[in-house]
Amino acid sequence: MKNCNPNDLELQEIYRQIMARAEYCFQDLALLREALTHSSYSAEHTPSPPFNQRLEFLGDTVLQMVLTDYIFKEMPEAQEGILTRTRALLAKEGSTARFALALGLEQALLLGNGENHSGGRKRPSILGDAFEAFLGAVYLDGGLSAAQTVCLKLLPPIEECRKLLGPHENAKGALQEYCQGAGIGKPEYVRIQTTGPVHSPTYEIKVLVQKKELARGCGRNMRQAEQEAAAGALKILLAEQKPAEEASSSPDT
């Protein structure tokens, strides 16, 4: 990757490629240019062109809105803490930097000489800010629906997000992986009963491994109850595994 800014002719082609990847065509290309102009570039030019900090501020809010709507709908069993952790996972610097790279935003960045020569075009903080500014620019140019469409194309499937969470938040996935690794088949979830009023039922689930009941869970929906049951089953299996590992590692007497 070159350590200098693209010229105006090069930028036009890069902008075309970015819009093709995003599947969004800007009506106002000045917004796109501003979104990809770093403060270090603006500081080195007179008059100073607008840079992307204001759009980054706007885009950060747009991103939070899009992510909140996405995970709320895709994770109906999750409580507030898990939803918050999942959103933070998708909004962190490493994630937004990857989104920027997926769109090719780094090719169009306008940076100051110091940033160019010190690898600023690859720096996660600059890339992440550029993506948020880009999203802010899309919002101003085409509205929330356009920004949402662009963002959703870049998000990983919700199951990938679950895998990146800890075992407690993704107990079903962790239990299934454990059972497969141990060669004991897939867990089976069976509804025991449903209690409470029709508008707010509580489900009770049991989880079976090799036809043996290991744990039960309750929740406001089936998924929540299954997660709780899976967490209990995983705890039991891990507790049983530890003595066996200790016995196998003990020296013969």
pLDDT in tens, the chain (253 residues): 567 899 999 999 999 999 999 999 999 999 999 999 999 999 999 999 999 999 999 999 999 999 999 999 998 877 777 788 889 889 999 999 999 999 999 999 999 999 988 888 999 999 999 999 999 999 999 999 999 999 999 999 888 887 777 655 567 877 887 888 889 999 999 999 999 888 788 999 999 999 999 999 998 888 888 888 988 898 888 888 766 555 565 555 4
Boundary (domain end) residue, out of 163, 196, 217: 163
Catalytic residue among 34, 56, 60, 169: 60
Q: In whole angstroms, what is the distance from residue 216 CA to residue 220 CA? A: 14
Task: Tell me: do 124 and 76 sit in the same domain.
Answer: yes
Catalytic residue among 129, 132, 169, 228: 132
Whether 8 is catalytic: no
Task: Tell me: do 103 and 39 sit in the same domain.
Answer: yes
- pLDDT score, position 172: 81
Boundary (domain end) residue, out of 112, 130, 163: 163
On whether residue 2 sits in a domain, the answer given is no
The parent domain of residue 111 ranges over 8-163
Task: Tell me: do 205 and 82 sit in the same domain.
Answer: no
Distances (CA, A) of 22 to 31, 138, 161, 168: 15, 10, 22, 35
Looking up residue 99, the CATH number of its domain turns out to be 1.10.1520.10
Whether 60 is catalytic: yes
Task: Tell me: do 39 and 103 sit in the same domain.
Answer: yes
Boundary (domain end) residue, out of 124, 143, 163: 163
- pLDDT score, position 253: 45
Find the distance separating the first CA and the last CA of the chain, reported in whole Å: 63
pTM of the model as a whole: 0.68
> How many domains, the chain?
2
Task: Tell me: do 158 and 174 sit in the same domain.
Answer: no
Looking up residue 214, the CATH number of its domain turns out to be 3.30.160.20
Q: Where are the beta strands (DSSP E) in the chain?
A: 188-195, 202-209, 212-219
- pLDDT score, position 248: 60
